[in-house]
Amino acid sequence: MLHVRLICVGKLKEKFYREACAEYEKRLKGYCKLEIIELTEQRLPDSPSQAQIDAALAKEAEAIRAKIPAGSAVVAMCIEGGTLSSEQFADKLSKWMGSGVSHISVLIGGSCGLDESLKKSAQLRLSMSPMTFPHHLARVMVLEQLYRALNIASGGKYHK
């Protein structure tokens, strides 16, 4: 069975986000072994300099790297990433699984995003949209798209 590790910077505080994530976690149980890891977001002053932001992102990247299993295909969620339809995402996951990939790590940064080194080393840089979304909502969206893609790949009817 596919192992998916969702590595997120920041904790979900709002009940409605937690409930939405719980629903997709429940649905995903039939398709993969899902693990969600929440890492602490680095504190920044109200008006941080670029150097302070870069230092915080580098520290978060170190914590993220420690949670990525060896041999895992890495998906970095970032605004600079490409967009895929749900069918294209399902195809990408299917191709990875067909080539022997059994672990996928999806990275969601905090409010300042992800360190550039993580984005460059990822096998897939993915953007949900050119629009900006709260990183907590991005978690819900990623879980929904994982569920949709794995359902498509298995011939399910959720996508229709």
Positions at the binding site for S-adenosyl-L-methionine? 109, 128-133
Buried-state track 75-85, b at ≥16 Cβ within 10 A, e below 16: bbbbeebeebe
Beta strands in 40-102 (DSSP E): 73-82
The answer to whether 79 and 127 have CB atoms below 8 angstroms apart is yes
Beta strands in the chain (DSSP E): 2-9, 32-39, 73-82, 103-108, 124-126
Would you list which residues are annotated within the binding site?
109, 128-133
Cα separation, 24 vs 32, whole angstroms: 12
Contacts of residue 48, Cβ cutoff 8 Å, sequence gap at least 6: 56
